[in-house]
Amino acid sequence: MLNLSRIETLFADHGNAWYGGEAISQTAHALQCAQLAEQAGEPEPLIVAALLHDVGHLLLAESTTTDMRHQEAAADALAELFGDEVTEPVRLHVAAKRYLCAADPAYFATLSPASAQSLALQGGPFGAAQAEAFTASRHAAAAVRLRRYDDLAKVVGLATPRLAHYLDMAARCARTGA
């Protein structure tokens, strides 16, 4: 069962691992992403989604599964604790990258080399029908904003609030009784 204590443990146990070919750790990336969302004035559920969007990588670090769809692993696990305002932007953040590559020709050039490489593994840019289906999602706009924070949250040595700051927010966003 995933709860806030377990999330904190996942970051403690696996958060120092490098973030997907970038020069920062999983934890630094998560904190920067949450900080960007917070600085932009996003509602707390999206800030929490920004913090936890890649928690699937941490969960998969403890798994023997070969299915590396981290966004699905994260959203499914987080659904035990949070509602759609947190889980769906997490689930859709990879789709948002694929959408942005299709909708904005200049977007691809902004991706880091590691993110461009993972795009190919994630299915590449959406086709027209996929992009249209993505935009029909109630959470597409939030997922796109999360994606843009994700893309920027790769600054080596950037000072951020501590994990506890965002876990307090997560506690406020958690379902009662979870």
- Asked whether the whole model's pTM tops 0.85, one would answer yes
pLDDT in tens, 100-110: 999 998 999 99
Which pLDDT score is estimated for 59? 78
CB 20 within 8 A of CB 7: no
Query: Whole-angstrom Cα distance, residue 112 to residue 154?
Result: 9
| Phi, psi (degrees; rounded to nearest 5) at 85 | -65, -25
Which pLDDT score is estimated for 64? 46
DSSP-H helix ranges across 2-112: 4-14, 26-39, 44-52, 55-60, 70-78, 84-103
Count of alpha carbons within 13 Å of 24, Cβ hemisphere only?
Answer: 19
Q: pLDDT band for position 73 (50/70/90)?
A: confident
Counting runs of H as helices and runs of E as strands, what totals does the chain give? 10, 0
Q: pLDDT band for position 147 (50/70/90)?
A: very high
Q: What structural domains and CATH numbers belong to the chain?
A: 4-173 (1.10.3210.10)
